[in-house]
Structure 1
Amino acid sequence: MGQIITHACGHEQIHYLSGFASQQERRARWLETTKCRTCFVATKQTEQAEAAVRDGAAIAHLDLPLLTGSDRQVAWATTLRASRLCAFIATPATEGNGHKVCTHVTDAKWWIDHRTLTDTQLLAEAELYAVGIDKSASGDIDTGLPQAA
């Protein structure tokens, strides 16, 4: 049976609490101190939008190439790239040219796939990506196929 909880935001929501009676009471008391799901999601989205604007403004001076990929990939990767580059610029250890390697990565999928890496790992992967592009542009990549003379 559902229990109606009045959240800290003032909204009421039905919650299905399980466990022993003491566990249900403790969970109900905790839920009363939190926002309802709708308010929580709205707050989270607002915070993410503000962070995206702040990060975008911090890297606006960089001449970044457009990302390639599907619309959803590009939208997500743009946010990821902005936050990571902003963090690189703000960190004294990477104030040099470290972040410049990442500015040349244009593949949205790459940014999404590497979003959980540490700064050091991300810079190393970006350098490998740049080397891969340079090799493919000059034809130096060994594909294992016979080359025409």
Structure 2
Amino acid sequence: MEQQIIHACGHQQAHVLYGFDSQVARKARWLRTTKCRACFLADKKAEQIEATARDTATVAHLILPPLTGSERQVAWAETIRIKRLAALTVSPHTSIDADCNLCLRIYDAKWWIDHRDLANEDLLDQATRHLQIAAMPANGQQSAAA
């Protein structure tokens, strides 16, 4: 059953509510205390822009090398990398310069996307492992540095 609900933001929106009468009434009361979908999405977008600007200012002193990958991968991975580097710089449990320099040596956008949900310590472990694997010679022989 469709109901027109006037939300807390003042906008009216149609909602299809199902269930027993008591459930429909409870859901309608709750919807009146929330923002409409458009206002909710606008607020979320503004929060994301503010967080990105804050993170960008935090890592402004770093020289971020370009990432490799598709256009969409690079765009997404850049936001992830900035967010993660900002988190590393404010974390009390990391050596900021060494950890950031380690992460700045990873240019693969896919790697940043695949590891976006890791904790800082796990991210640094994976970055170290990735760079060690990348330094291995392709033919399986010992490198000159080893």
TM-score by length of 2: 0.90
Structure 1 segment 1-149 matched on structure 2, within 5 A: 1-96=1-96, 97-135=98-136, 139=137, 142=140
Q: CA deviation at 1:63?
A: 1.5
Cα separation, partners in 2 of 1:50 and 1:27, compared to 1, 3 Å: same
Q: CA deviation at 1:81?
A: 0.6
**1:93-145 CA-partner distances (Å, limit 9, x unpaired):** 1134223211111111111111111111111110011112222xxx25539xx
Q: CA deviation at 1:70?
A: 1.2
Q: How many matched pairs?
A: 140
How big is the alpha-carbon RMSD for the aligned residues of Structure 1 and Structure 2? Answer: 1.5
TM-score by length of 1: 0.88
5+ unaligned residues in a row in structure 1: which ranges?
144-149
Amino acid of the residue matched to residue 108 of structure 2?
D
**1:65-100 CA-partner distances (Å, limit 9, x unpaired):** 111111111111111111111011001111342232
Aligned partners of 2:69 and 2:33: how far apart in 1?
A: 42
Aligned partners of 1:34 and 1:70: how far apart in 2?
A: 39
Amino acid of the residue matched to residue 116 of structure 1?
D
Cα separation, partners in 2 of 1:61 and 1:141, compared to 1, 3 Å: farther
Aligned partners of 1:75 and 1:41: how far apart in 2?
A: 21
Larger deviation: 91-100 or 101-110? 91-100
Cα separation, partners in 2 of 1:141 and 1:5, compared to 1, 3 Å: farther
Amino acid of the residue matched to residue 8 of structure 1?
A
Cα separation, partners in 2 of 1:22 and 1:130, compared to 1, 3 Å: same
Runs ≥4 residues deviating over 6 A: none
